[in-house]
């Protein structure tokens, strides 16, 4: 473009120069505007799109449970990944991660906290899923499901109202099938089975809980295109085996988290969130039952896109 202008300005024929310049401008494709960037009256750019699965989260609010109202605080770092599969063409890996998730609230008038080193999900999306039956000759059948893995590593829970008791879960792993088969990680519906191992100290005695793929599990992630609202949900229900539990003990837990961005301060979004958690014989070291609802504000740093 600069070379064309130089030639035009050097030409002695002004009319021909203007015609040539107009012709060049007409054939130059316009630069597409970034839908995630807006400008104020002074021309300064600011972000209007955000990634709910990226950045450092800081949240606080009030929680209501069976023992009344209390304060609540949370912190964690989220990361989203996407890459083409190296082993199969036309397939993509989508992954969602959360590191160092820490939450603090009151239980029976005393602090209770939960810390998880890592939690996340991996989903392999194939453009055309196929199920191969190894007969002679082999038979290929359509397979309208994506396969995913979800899990947690090193979850530690402590409630001062339970004295010195604690719960430590080294690993939790679920194998999921996703009927949505979305071509992005903004939508994920996973249904499958769960395996986990947990240690609980109850009144000084360490109890081993094992769930050998005997629990059903659910994983949901839904986000708007611009990332200004997000809905996440997870749930598990099934039988856990431990000392004195020949037939297993039925336990269930679930949580739903919804968030909507209200404002952005220097491109850092602040969202209002509502988090609901419930447990049946699966809360804390003493495996109690409870329902809690938390509402507040959440700041998510470095999530603008």
Q: Pick from 110, 151, 167, 153: which is nearest to 288 by CA?
A: 167
pLDDT tens column, 76-103: 999 999 999 887 777 899 999 999 999 9
Domain ranges of the chain: 53-301
Reported in sequence order, the residue ranges of the chain that DSSP labels E, i.e. its strands, are 37-39, 45-47, 55-65, 68-84, 91-107, 110-126, 130-133, 139-142, 146-159, 166-178, 187-202, 205-223, 229-240, 249-265, 268-283, 288-301
pLDDT tens column, 157-176: 999 999 999 999 999 999 99
**Whole-number Å distance between alpha carbons of 193 and 238:** 9
**Cα atoms in the 13 Å half-sphere on the side-chain side of 73:** 5
CATH 2.40.50 fits 53-301, yes or no: no
**Whole-number Å distance between alpha carbons of 116 and 127:** 34
**Whole-number Å distance between alpha carbons of 63 and 255:** 14
Q: Is 16 exposed, middle or buried (0-12, 13-18, 19+ CB in 10 A)?
A: exposed
The per-residue pLDDT for 49 is 94
Higher-confidence residue of 18 and 161: namely: 161
The per-residue pLDDT for 32 is 53
- The residue whose two tokens read 């769930």 is 211
Higher-confidence residue of 86 and 294: namely: 294
**Cα atoms in the 13 Å half-sphere on the side-chain side of 259:** 26
The per-residue pLDDT for 31 is 47
């Amino acid at each position: 473009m600069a070379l064309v202008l130089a030639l035009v300005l050097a030409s002695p024929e002004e009319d021909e120069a203007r015609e040539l310049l107009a012709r060049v401008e007409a054939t130059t494709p316009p630069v597409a505007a970034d839908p995630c960037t807006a400008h104020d009256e002074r021309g300064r750019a600011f972000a209007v799109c955000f990634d709910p699965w990226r950045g450092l989260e800081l949240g606080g609010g009030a929680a209501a449970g069976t023992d009344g109202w209390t304060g609540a605080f949370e912190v964690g770092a989220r990361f989203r990944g996407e890459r083409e599969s190296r082993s199969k063409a036309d397939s993509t890996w989508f992954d969602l991660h959360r590191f160092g998730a820490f939450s603090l609230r009151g239980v029976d008038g005393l602090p209770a906290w939960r810390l998880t080193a890592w939690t996340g999900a991996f989903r392999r999306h194939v453009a055309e899923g196929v199920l191969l039956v190894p007969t002679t000759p082999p038979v290929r059948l359509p397979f309208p499901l994506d396969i995913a893995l979800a899990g947690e590593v090193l979850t530690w829970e402590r409630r001062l109202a339970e004295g010195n008791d604690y719960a430590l879960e080294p690993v939790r792993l679920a194998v999921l099938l996703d009927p949505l088969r979305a071509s992005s990680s903004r939508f994920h519906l996973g249904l499958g089975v769960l395996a986990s191992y947990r240690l609980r100290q109850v009144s000084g005695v360490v109890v081993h809980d094992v769930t050998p793929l005997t629990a059903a599990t659910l994983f949901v992630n839904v986000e708007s295109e611009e990332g200004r609202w997000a809905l996440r949900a997870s749930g598990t229900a099934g039988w856990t085996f431990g000392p004195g539990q020949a037939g297993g003990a039925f336990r269930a837990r679930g949580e739903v988290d919804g968030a909507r961005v209200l404002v952005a301060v220097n491109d850092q979004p602040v969202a209002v969130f509502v988090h609901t958690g419930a447990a049946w014989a699966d809360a804390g070291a003493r495996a109690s039952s409870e329902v809690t609802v938390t509402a507040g504000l959440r700041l998510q740093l470095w999530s603008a896109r």
